[in-house]
Amino acid sequence: EAEPAVCSPCRRAQLRLCLERLKGLVPLGAAAGRHTTLSLLTRARLHIQKLEDQERRALHQIEQLQREQRHLQRQLEKLGVERVRIDSIGSSLSSERSDSDQGESPPRGAAAGRPG
């Protein structure tokens, strides 16, 4: 089945409408008023390439930041494990110290020779 034929003036009107929409989307700079269809399409192509380059750079930066985030997360987890280890060593040392301190030193009143 063949497509219904679109009249030539209708196609031209649709093409003009599409070109006007494209003008609104593509930065044209100082020559915004004076453009040919070719110059508009060329600027559109360059603008699309620029946007694609920006997207590639943004994706690369996202990947780089994700790698850095994973690295920092591993470091944070490592520091958390070390801190737990240090805290547990510190608390066991302080509990040993307090046990030995209580066994070795006499009560304050007894040290001065005063009756309790």
User: What's the DSSP call for residue 30?
Assistant: G
> Among candidates 91, 92, 72, 69, which has minimal Cα distance to 80?
72
CB atoms within 10 A of CB 34: 8
Which DSSP symbol is given to 4? P
The reported pTM is: 0.55
Looking at residue 34, the DSSP 8-state letter turns out to be S
Domain boundaries, given as residue ranges, for the chain: 11-27+35-88
Query: What is the overall mean pLDDT for the chain?
Result: 80
Least confident of 5-9, 30-34, 71-75: 30-34
Query: 43-92, pLDDT tens digit by residue?
Result: 999 999 999 999 999 999 999 999 999 999 999 988 887 777 777 777 77
Tokens coding 70: 């994973």
Give the N- to C-terminal CA distance of the chain in Å, as an integer.
Answer: 115
Decide: 28 and 35 in contact? Cβ < 8 Å. yes
Number of residues in the chain: 116
